[in-house]
Amino acid sequence: MNDTIKTIMNRKSVRKFSPKSISKEDVKTILQAGMSGPSCVNSRCWSFVVVQDKDKLQKMADANVKYADPLRGAALGILVCSDLSRTEFFANAREFWVIDGAIAAQNMILAAESLGIGSCWLGTWPVEERVNNQTALFGLPEHIVPHSVIAFGYPAEDVPYGSRAGRPEWDEDRVHWEKW
């Protein structure tokens, strides 16, 4: 098993972080990974709000309403945004932006994991209340949709693989060979 596959397989959500901060260099590497995924007609229709200020992280957690506590102790929160002004060439399929934002976020999560930095994905879109709150908190322009918040930090304690309850390595019933 090569290192990339180990990173992918070992990733799990981390909800408790140590107080250790993340270096500017690592933050930039994580963001660059986010910019490196495919996007619909190469639109690169995302933007990232990068937050390390402790007070702002509390406000981001409040804005996401539920299940957002990991952000309170995080060293870094990134609000992945989708830029609808870059989706005009998607024709009748504007919602490809949802996919492009998810690709960017997962790339960032894996880059962080490979650097020993844990993360927890906090869903924002399509929960209207969370979308509205993050929009208000950051004063986002009308064409910007808050897609997801990712909390990052060094894990406070090792989260053993076995703790991924209900997450088997292989789900045979999800695989259909050649036909449904």
> Helical H runs in 42-172?
54-63, 96-114, 128-138
Tell me if 4 contacts its own copies by CB under 8 A. Answer: yes
Q: Does 19 bind its own copies (CB under 8 A)?
A: no
- Binders of its own copies in range 80-99 (CB under 8 A): 92-96, 98-99
Dist CA 113 CA 87 (whole Å): 30
Q: Which stretch binds its own copies (CB under 8 A): 15-23, 68-76, 111-119, 152-160?
A: 111-119
First to last CA, the chain: 29
Beta-bridge partner residues of 118:
153
The answer to the question of residue 44 lying near its own copies (CB under 8 A) is: yes
Q: What are phi and psi of 60, to 5 degrees?
A: -60, -40
Q: Binding residue for its own copies (CB under 8 A) from 19, 21, 35, 85?
A: 35
Work out whether 152 is an interface residue with its own copies (CB under 8 A).
no
- Tell which one of 102, 145, 149, 151 touches its own copies (CB under 8 A): 102
H or E segment and range at residue 149: strand 144-153
By CB under 8 A, residue 72 contacts its own copies: no
